[in-house]
Every structure is written in C-alpha cells, then in structure tokens.
Amino acid sequence: MDIAKMDEFAKKKGFFWPSSEMYGGLAGFYDYGSNGTLLKRKFENAWRRYFLGLNENFFEIEPSDIMHEKVFKASGHVDGFVDPVARCSKCGTQHRADHILEDFLHESFEGMTPEQLKKVIDEKGVKCPSCKGELKEVYVLNMMFPVDVGSGKRGYLRPETAQGPYVNFLRHFNLLRNRLPIGLSVIGKAYRNEISPRNLTTRMREFTQAELQIFFDPSQVEEHPGWGGVKNYKLRLFPDKEKKIVEVKCEDALRMGIPKFYVWHMAKVQQFYFDVMKVPKDRFRFRELSAEERAFYNKVHWDIELDLPSLGGFREVGGVHYRTDHDLTGHQRLANQKQEVFFNERRFMPHILELSFGVDRNVYAMIELNYEEEGDRAVLHLPASVAPFQVAVFPLVNKDGLDKEARKVFETLRRDFDAVFDQSGSIGKMYYREDERGTFYCVTVDYDVKKRKDVTVRDRDSKRQVRVKLKDLPKILRKLIDGEIRFEKAGKAIKPAKPKKK
Amino acid sequence: MDIAKMDEFAKKKGFFWPSSEMYGGLAGFYDYGSNGTLLKRKFENAWRRYFLGLNENFFEIEPSDIMHEKVFKASGHVDGFVDPVARCSKCGTQHRADHILEDFLHESFEGMTPEQLKKVIDEKGVKCPSCKGELKEVYVLNMMFPVDVGSGKRGYLRPETAQGPYVNFLRHFNLLRNRLPIGLSVIGKAYRNEISPRNLTTRMREFTQAELQIFFDPSQVEEHPGWGGVKNYKLRLFPDKEKKIVEVKCEDALRMGIPKFYVWHMAKVQQFYFDVMKVPKDRFRFRELSAEERAFYNKVHWDIELDLPSLGGFREVGGVHYRTDHDLTGHQRLANQKQEVFFNERRFMPHILELSFGVDRNVYAMIELNYEEEGDRAVLHLPASVAPFQVAVFPLVNKDGLDKEARKVFETLRRDFDAVFDQSGSIGKMYYREDERGTFYCVTVDYDVKKRKDVTVRDRDSKRQVRVKLKDLPKILRKLIDGEIRFEKAGKAIKPAKPKKK
C-alpha cells in the first residue's frame, strides 16, 4: 500500500476524501463517507469499551470544543504552541521547517529551535519545495485557531482534548466521592492550524482524538493493583538509547526507570492493539522520545507506533505521557483556585498519566494493515471489533419472492448484529463490495430457503461457503463472530452458488 | 422543575455546567460531566439506531466541522444567516432584538425584520434589559464563526450539520448504486455566534445536532412504501391556523396539504418520542410554522416541540423540513457542477427532506420530563433507551469478601449490560445516587450470596426489592429491561435489606 493507492481506495470505496471537495477542498480537512464513518465509530466504541473498562472510576466527559482564552494561557498553548516555519523568499509559501528537512534528509528534526533548523537548511542547501527559491527566514507561528465569541471575547478551538478534563477535574473528584485514581476521557475533535497538513487523514487541521487523563496519587506511582496480571507480559520497546526494538518484560521495564503505574498502562495499550485490534506483533512498538523531542513537562513519554509503509514505516498513532502536576498547577496558578485534593490522609496535587490516541491515524492504520489485493479488487481483513458490518444479507435474485425472504432474514439478524441488506447487482459484485469494507459474513438467500429452510453463508477471508439452517443462523453467526467455532464447522460445505436458470 | 433547579441539579449531579468555569465561563458554552455524557451518548445511539434503521439506504457520515467559505456562500449563510440585534445606546450591550421583545411581551417575534422590530420596541417603550438605557439601533449580525485557515484561506465553523451531506451527496449516490432515496445523517457539532445565548444548554453557541438529510425523487413525494403501516396512526398537530393541538390521522393529514412522504416521516418521528423516548403524549406536538416564521426555501415546516415548563411551555427540540431542491441547486450553481441524477429513467434534481434534532435540547428535555422529587432527593425515571446505566452493583458492606463477590457479579453483568460498580457509602446513599441518574436496577450483594447464592435486586421506580438467584440474574435482568416480565415476577419479594450486625 502506498499513499496514492490509499487515497484512491478511500475515495472510491466510501472511506474518506477532501472536505468541501466541489469547491477545490480545504487543505487539512477531510470528510468521512458512509463506510469510513462506520469504521471510525467502531474504532471509537471499541476504544471506549476497552479503556473505560480498565477501572470503574474511568468515565467519558464532553467538554466544549471552544474554550476560554485563559484555559490555553494556563496550559502554555497561547505562548508556546508554535511550529517552526521556513518562508520562501521567492514564492512566499510558508513551509513547516522540520518537515521539509525530514523529507529531504530522512531523519527527524522535531523539537529543534528555528535557529537550529535554519542552520541545517543553510548547511545542506535546502530550497523551497514549491519553487526552489531560498528559505531565508525561519520563525514560529501559533497553531491554534482563535475564535471571537459574542462581542469580542477571545476563545480558542482546543488544540488537544486534554484541557477539558483538567479544568473539570475537581467537579468530578467531588462527584466520584473523593477517590483516586479518576480517569476522564474525551473522544472528540481537536483543531490545529498546521503549516503543512499532509498524508491524507494522518496530519489534518481538524482531527479526532481519543484521550484518557488519569489523575492519581504520585506517592503511588510505583504501585498498581493489577500488576500481577502483567508483570511477565512482554512489551515491544524501541528505547531512545538502543534505537532498535527489544522485547522487555514489564517487570524488567521497571529497571529501565519507567514507573510501575506507567508500565501497567503500557501493557494495557499494547494488549488493546494485539487482542482487540489484532495488529500483527511486528507492526507495533513503543518508541521512547528523547529529551529534545518530548515536551518539557512530560517526565516519561513513549509514542505508540504502527508500521505503515504508505507513510514510510513506523509512525505515531498515539502516546503515553506522564505529565506530572504540570497542568493542574498551571490552572491553579492562573485561576487562583486550589486544585489539590485530600486523599489518603494527605493534601496534594494529583499527577496525570495521559493515554492519547489519534483516531483518524488509527482508522487509517486499520485500513492499511488489513488491506489485501486479490487481482483487481481488495479485501479488508478487519477484526470483528472494527469491521463496519458483521454480516450482509442478499437475495440470490430479485424475483420469485426471494427479495422478501432475504429482507425477513435481514430484519431478524439486524436485532443482534451490525447487518446490512443489499439487492443491487450480481451476487459476485455484492460479495466484492462487502469484502472491500471488511464485512465478515455474507448470507445469500436462494430458492432453497423455502424448500430446505437454509441459506448460504460465505466467509470473507477464506471465501468458503456453507449451508446453514435458518433457525440456527443467529446462533451460528454469533459463535463465528465470537471466534467460538471455526468456519468449517458452521454448516455443510458447498461450492459457490450460481443463479439457477428458470 | 424551573430553570434554576435544573441548573443546580445538572451541576451537582454531573450532567452539565458552564465551560471554562474556573475562568468565569464563556457564555453559550457548556461541558457535559460524566453522567450527562452517558445520557447524551445514549440519546445519540438511540437516535442513530432508530432513524438509520428506517431504510437500509440511510447512513451516517462525518464531514468536517470547518468548511470552505464557498459552501456557506452557496447555502446562503454568508449573506443571510443573520440575527436582529438591538444595541443599547447607554451601556453598549447588544441584545437579540426578538428575544427581548419575547421576554417583555410574551409572544413570538421570530422572523421579523429589524425595521419591524424597531417599530415594536418604540411603540411598547422597551428598554435595555441590562441598564434600562434606550435601544436606538436595530440591525443584523452574521452568526457564523469565521476561521482563517493556513495562510489566509477563509473557512467557517458550520452553523448546521446539513451542508456536509449536501456537498457529499453525489459521491454517495454513486457509492450507493445510483438509487433514491438516500439518507445521509450527521451527528455532530454546529456553531453559532448567538447574540444572547441563554436557557442553559438549550440555546448555546456550540451545540450538537442529529440530522438526517433524505434525498428523494420529487415525483414520488406523494408515495411511501410503508404508508399502510401509518395511515391510521394519529399525529398530534398544532396547525398554524387553528393554534391548538388536534389529533389527526396520517391519512387525514394528506388532506391538509402535507405530502405523503413527509407525513410518513412525521409518524416515525412521533413514534420515536412515544415508543423509544417514552414521552407522555400530552407533552409532545408538531407545530406548523407560519409563512413568516419559516425559511423561504422550506416548503413545509413543522417543528417538533416538547412541553418543558422550565422554559415556559412547548419548546422546539427538532423539526421536519421539506427543503425541496434549494440546497443542491445552490451548490450546483456556485460550484458549477451538476448535482442532478439519472434515476427512474429521468434526469432531475433530487429534493431533500430534513429531519433535524437538537441533541442538547433533547437531553435537557429527557432530564426535565423524567425528573421527580421525593422529599429531599430526586429520581430520574428515564426510559431504558437513554438511562446512563441499566444496572448498578454494590456490596452490602466492604468486608468479609462481599466486595470481591460483588465485583465478580459486576464483571459478569458488564458483558451484557451497561453496568456500574460502587462500594463507597451506605446502601441507602448508593441507591439514591443511582436513582438520581436513572439507573434501572440496583443489585446488592450481601451475606446470602455464599449460602443461598442469591442477591437483592431493587427497582428504581417502585423501590421494591426481590431476591434473585445468581445463576438467573442476567436472564432476569434482560427480561426486566426488555419489558418482558413485571418486576413482581422477577423473584421472591422482600423488605429492604439492612446491614447485618456482626
């Protein structure tokens, strides 16, 4: 899969395409079509179920997208949320300075100052990618979108969902009976006026984050009640010093200086990718950020990376950030309102562990990782947790009452499954269409539905087909989807059905 | 319920409160807390399941919030999406002119021109509500939030979700095999720079809409395949002429000049409120908008209204809008790109029927309609479709292993139910807390869990309790929630459990 193929596939098959397309698009904004939206919702729901399920004190909240200027004063975004820009002295285009260097020299320049970047540009003789003009100026631009509210109050579209939980922490500490840890999650939009949005939906100006902010007692950072369950579990780490992937038991990760509370959550993140998203092991790693790369307030910072050849290899799809008390302290100072809590018979400022995921990047990754070409068409081998549909139902032909019978089957199945009905085209074409969006099973209703009371069930991955009695269909499909039986055991194996001649 | 009580209840019980609260708030922006978010998600999911279930050709999409300026040029928002403003010549405050008249004279002034409003202000001697100064100027302001993207491209935060489906229509017409009707739904944020946001979450500057845009063949506006199912169903209508609620069979509504395709969807909307949201009949009506009130492009327009005493009576929570070809024609003209389709052997411009719902208003309404005070506390009698939790599990006391046993019960139930675990406080307090957020059933695990292998199940509405065998618990709860058995039949009736003395 390369990026041009992804672009074409996503457009043609209803996943995503540029926003406001008929007006030439708006760089950095994408719309999800009907299949993309289903996949995205599925990812969000799987994420919600898994991460909020880690602790019964973890909840989702929904803060507003636009917040008071002071929220972002306190967080440091008004002053510090800037990107380095190199401006072409010939065509005037502003480029993200570290990105043009990255493209040119194939290494990371994240976290460098404008002065450092300017030096590399001069040394290597890097020119404007648009017109080959000279890049004389390198400076910073704030990436937030300001919004003027009412008669002149300044707000900002949030550049990350995280601040919502921070300013809402104390209300929830009271509501949730003054206990720690508390987890407050937001699944929602964030907005950044990127200089150079690119790579389709993986670097946009409007994007969806799924973040979980965990507020905990810092004196317990070397504890976790669930530790026994993970201590022998092996993490796939790419430490900054070693610059290669090593498999490290959680227990041994502690000796690398990563706190136990942090390691436990790394294990859960990795299990999410392996067990729920079914990502192949060698396509996943945690990458440690160097001191220069990570924000100064992140005491420990490992990115979650997936191997995405269309983007050039391992790329960030999330991160685990130990933000300490940086955020709550900032708000306490600017709002002049104590954020400390009384818990475990002490008064203190909670620390924050952030699990942060780019939803669009993960959706993109799920397409790429599960995409397979078979001749002139594609199959998405999506796991059950994110496949837009579990089952599709078709009539073999649109006559002799088969369409009505098929619709009856569909109406029964949709009660218990994510089901879709189709009757527009040949069976072969309908199979292909479902394969392309990753539908697990196709049920075809043919003439035997009346005589023998059975239907054909076809498996997406093996393309094999079996006959299943109508009365057993929901039960059998449930077992197949839950992985309790193998497809060969689901019914009587048959050759692909062909339309009967009348 | 009055608005002050709603405000207090929503804040105290984790439903919603002003955004950026610690910085004095930002007028027109609210954050949903953990209970409010659960309720909102449930409403959104119930809406999605119900309305997308009306036709297998109805799908959700996710267009970006920020769109190209031209999208809103074509839609008419850049030029026409304005509100009338009365400015105080003393304190300078800008007020929404029709709203201050409404507050002062208790009638609707929606849709009046600035000139008409100025005349009423002068005639009635209406003054500035803030300082009693004179309201000399009345003019219009555009309500959209402009956003400058990249190096100077103009975009807008969408003031309605509807334009997303319109500009994405053709792609989906192709994707969905060139058939009509097609339904494209968006559940997402919209943004309006209201002059006077007010009434808590019911008139905000950032709010959530759930909208379904149905594209259909206008020559079939007097048809619907499902007509037989609704023709004798009675709608609760408040026609503009009669100005009172009348119950009218769908069949008879046709004679009032409402097209059949429109009436069928009205019936489905009403059934959503009665059958899914369990709204009492007398709290619901469709109100016909007068020619002055409705947008010029809406050929037929009935608002969906619920009776909300906290806001003064029947208030709009949604609407059914027959927008004809206004929107597609606008985009065809400005983008110079044909929006016509070839279907039913003709080439034509599809018409649009819009089902539009304010999610925040509906969530607010669900709280108000289901709120009941019992002494010093409240119960939310929410229907199963939107109650944040279906079941809560507690240990009777946090010792003798009861907490572990309760957690086991919780882990089993959470697989099939929206379940929550609590162990912080007396049983009585935990019951109250669940009543306040509308949890249907509370399961208390006491000392009999080991001896008799049973637990107490308590009903939110009747407060009655029964003993249920552990092995039957999931099955019994399922039947209770699905309304298949009455609570009295669920197990052996008992008096409220009291902590055993040790």
The length of chain B, given as a count of residues: 502
pLDDT digits (tens, 9 = 90+) for A5-57: 999 999 999 999 999 999 999 999 999 999 999 999 999 999 999 999 999 89
Q: 3-state SS of A17-74? A: EECCHHHCCCCCCEEECHHHHHHHHHHHHHHHHHHHCCCCCEEECECCCEEEHHHHHH
State what percent of residues in chain A have pLDDT above 90: 83
Q: Is A165 on the interface with B (CB under 8 A)?
A: no
How does strand A206-216 pair with strand A351-358?
antiparallel
- Per-residue pLDDT for A496 more than 80? no
Contacts A–B by Cβ distance under 8 A: 220
Residues in CB range of A374: below 8 A, 6 or more apart: none
Q: What is the mean pLDDT of residues B382-408?
A: 94
Over the stretch B365-379, which tens digit does the pLDDT of each residue have?
Answer: 999 999 999 888 899
**pLDDT at position A342, please?**
97
Contact A70 B195 (CB under 8 A): no
d(CA A104, CA A127): 10
Using a CB–CB cutoff of 8 Å, tell me whether A412 touches chain B. no
Check whether B268 has a pLDDT greater than 60. yes
| Cα atoms found within 13 Å of the Cα of residue B47, Cβ hemisphere only | 25
Rounded CA-CA distance B286/B281 in Å is: 12
Residue B13 touches chain A, beta carbons under 8 Å: yes
Q: What pLDDT is stored for residue A470 in this prediction?
A: 95
Half-sphere exposure of A37 (CA within 13 A, CB side): 20
Touching check for B17 and chain A: CB below 8 Å? yes
Q: Under 8 Å CB-to-CB from A454, ≥6 apart: which residues?
A: A448, A467, A468, A469, A470, A491
Write the pLDDT tens digit of every residue in B223-245: 999 999 999 999 999 999 999 99
Cα atoms in the 13 Å half-sphere on the side-chain side of A318:
28
Query: Which residues from A are below 8 Å from B205, CB to CB?
Result: 66, 149-150
Question: Residues 209..238 of B with a Cβ closer than 8 Å to A: which?
Answer: none
Does the structure show a pLDDT above 90 at B93? no
**pLDDT attached to residue B295:** 84
Q: Looking at residue B111, what is its pLDDT?
A: 80
Residue numbers of A between 296 and 355 with CB closer than 8 Å to B: 331, 334-335, 337
The pLDDT confidence band at residue A309, using thresholds 50, 70 and 90, is very high
A400-404, B89-93, B313-317, B491-495 — most confident range: B313-317
Asked if residue A460 has pLDDT above 90, the reply is yes
- pLDDT recorded at residue A376: 81
pLDDT of residue A499 exceeding 80, the answer is no
- pLDDT (0 to 100) of residue B296: 82
Which pLDDT score, from 0 to 100, does residue A358 have?
A: 98
Average pLDDT, chain B: 94
Please tell me the predicted confidence (pLDDT) of residue A296: 82
Task: Please tell me if residue A395 touches chain B, with a CB cutoff of 8 Å.
Answer: no
User: CB-based contact (8 Å) between A95 and chain B?
Assistant: no
Given an 8 Å threshold on Cβ–Cβ distance, is B164 in contact with A31? yes
Tokens of B16: 């919603």
Among A92-96, A463-467, B29-33, B323-327, the least confident range: A92-96
pLDDT at B216: 98
Reported as a single tens digit per residue, the pLDDT across A127-143 is 999 899 999 899 999 99
- Whether A501 shows a pLDDT value over 70: the answer reads no
Alpha-carbon gap, residue A277 to A387, rounded angstroms: 10
Pick left, alpha or beta for residue B169 (phi over 0 → left; psi -120 to 50 → alpha; otherwise beta).
alpha
Q: State whether residue B152 sits within 8 Å of chain A by CB.
A: no
Average pLDDT estimate for B379-389: 94
For A163-198, the DSSP string reads HHHHHTHHHHHHHTTS-S-EEEEEEEEEE---SS-B
Residue A385 has a pLDDT of 87
Contacts of B47 in chain A (CB under 8 A): none
**pLDDT bracket for residue B342 (50, 70, 90):** very high
The nearest CA of chain A is from the CA of B415 a distance in Å of: 10
Residue B495: predicted pLDDT: 66
Q: Is the pLDDT score of A500 beyond 60?
A: no
- Residue A407: closest CA among chain B residues belongs to which residue? B56
pLDDT, one tens digit per residue, over A176-222 is 999 999 999 999 999 999 988 999 999 999 999 999 999 999 999 99
Q: What is the pLDDT of residues B66-84, one digit of tens each?
A: 999 999 999 999 998 998 9
β-partners of residue A148 are A154
Contact B64 A19 (CB under 8 A): yes
- pLDDT higher than 60, residue A502: no
The answer to whether A66 contacts B167, with C-beta atoms less than 8 Å apart, is no
Q: Residue B63 and residue A31: Cα distance in Å, rounded?
A: 4
Confidence at residue A109, expressed as pLDDT on a 0 to 100 scale: 87
Place of tokens 């300078």: B92
ipTM reported for the complex, 2 dp: 0.93
Q: How far is CA A105 from CA A109, A124, A315, in A?
A: 10, 9, 17
- Does residue A435 carry a pLDDT above 90? yes
Ramachandran sector of residue A199 (left: φ over 0; alpha: ψ -120 to 50; beta: rest): left
pLDDT tens track for A385-432:
899 999 999 999 999 999 999 999 999 999 889 999 998 889 999 999
pLDDT at A227: 98
Q: How far apart are CA A124 and CA B306, in angstroms?
A: 68
Q: What is the pLDDT of residue B425?
A: 83
pLDDT of B186 reads 98
Residue A60 has pLDDT above 60, yes or no: yes
Q: Which of residues 426-485 of B touch A (CB under 8 A)?
A: none
**What's the distance, CA B325 to chain centroid?**
26
The band of B152, judged by pLDDT with boundaries at 50, 70 and 90, is confident
For the segment B214-227, the average pLDDT, to the nearest whole number, is 97
Q: Does B62 touch chain A (CB under 8 A)?
A: yes
Do the Cβ atoms of A38 and B24 come within 8 Å? Answer: no
Q: What is the pLDDT of residues B426-469, one digit of tens each?
A: 999 999 999 999 999 999 999 999 999 999 999 999 999 999 99
CA distance A367 to A465: 25
Are A26 and B191 inside 8 Å of each other by CB?
A: no
Q: Where are the beta strands (DSSP E) in A45-157?
A: 58-60, 66-68, 82-88, 94-96, 135-142, 145-149, 153-157
**Other beta carbons within 10 Å of B373:** 11
Structural domains in chain B plus CATH codes = 3-81+143-369 (3.30.930.10), 82-142 (3.30.40.230), 389-493 (3.40.50.800)
- pLDDT band at B501; cut points 50, 70, 90: low
Give me the pLDDT at residue A169, please.
Answer: 98
